[in-house]
Amino acid sequence: MPEIIFPGPDGRLEGRYHPQKNIKDAPIAIILHPHPQFGGTMNNKVVYNLHYAFYNMGFNVLRFNFRGVGRSQGEYDQGVGELLDAASALDYLQSMNPNAKHCWVAGFSFGAWIGMQLLMRRPEISGFISASPPANMYDFSFLAPCPSSGLIINGSADRVAPPADTEDLVAKLHEQKGITITHTVLEGADHFFKREEQMDLMLQTVDEYVRRRLTETTR
């Protein structure tokens, strides 16, 4: 998988781009990592596994480091600049795949918050995955209305982003018409899906959800 450097709004951004070899006009997905100030990078285990989950479903996939992380230039910007980074990453991915018919965003923790904001700016995004969204730490009220259907997945033993706050977020999204929010709670899983069987179940849930959505859109 080639390492890439692409232009961001505050300097160069470092990423990993994984294109399909034998699928023409494959769908595209970007994967967003957790909080830069708490060790979050594109090589986070959840992010890495989500990357390969989408690749194995036939997507051309890009994950990258937000500004100030790894070889990405710039400094942490409270989520404002990171959203611009995500938009630049999507621009780059689309420039490499101008004929892709489906565009997805997946984010973990802080990355889930950024990903949901990106939804509001980019109507071409057709689906999303939000893993362990930190609804207790960040305001998600900008999702009014949420423009795309997606999957929210979290653990029942999450002490970083308590399940009750995620339930409240999901309840508000369920009130909106025209989209379907699928919510899955993994019993006993923590914020990071640390146990192998929990990680496997999370990835299986994502795989089944995305494949079902892709099947529905191609009928």
Q: What CATH number should be reported for the domain holding residue 95?
A: 3.40.50.1820
Residue 219 lies in a domain: no
Q: Token match 């973990």: residue?
A: 108
Residue 9 lies in a domain: yes
What pLDDT does 213 receive? Answer: 97
Residue 65 lies in a domain: yes
Quick one: pLDDT band at residue 197, thresholds 50, 70, 90?
very high
Residue 36 lies in a domain: yes
pLDDT in tens, 12-70: 999 999 999 999 999 999 999 999 999 999 999 999 999 999 999 999 999 999 999 99
Could you tell me the strand order of the sheet in which 181-186 lies? 3-8, 11-18, 60-64, 28-32, 103-108, 127-131, 150-155, 181-186
Residue 61 lies in a domain: yes
Domain count, the chain: 1
pLDDT in tens, 75-99: 999 999 999 999 999 999 999 999 9
Give the 3-state secondary structure of 106-140. Answer: EEECHHHHHHHHHHHHCCCCCEEEEECCCCCCCCC
How does the average pLDDT of the chain come out, rounded?
96
For residue 39, the enclosing domain spans 3-212
Residue 157 lies in a domain: yes
Tokens of 55: 């690749």
Q: What is the pTM of this model?
A: 0.97
Residue 113 lies in a domain: yes
What pLDDT does 113 receive? Answer: 98
Radius of gyration of the chain (CA): 16
Residue 218 lies in a domain: no
Average pLDDT for 101-121: 97
Closest CA to 42 of 60, 16, 8, 24: 16
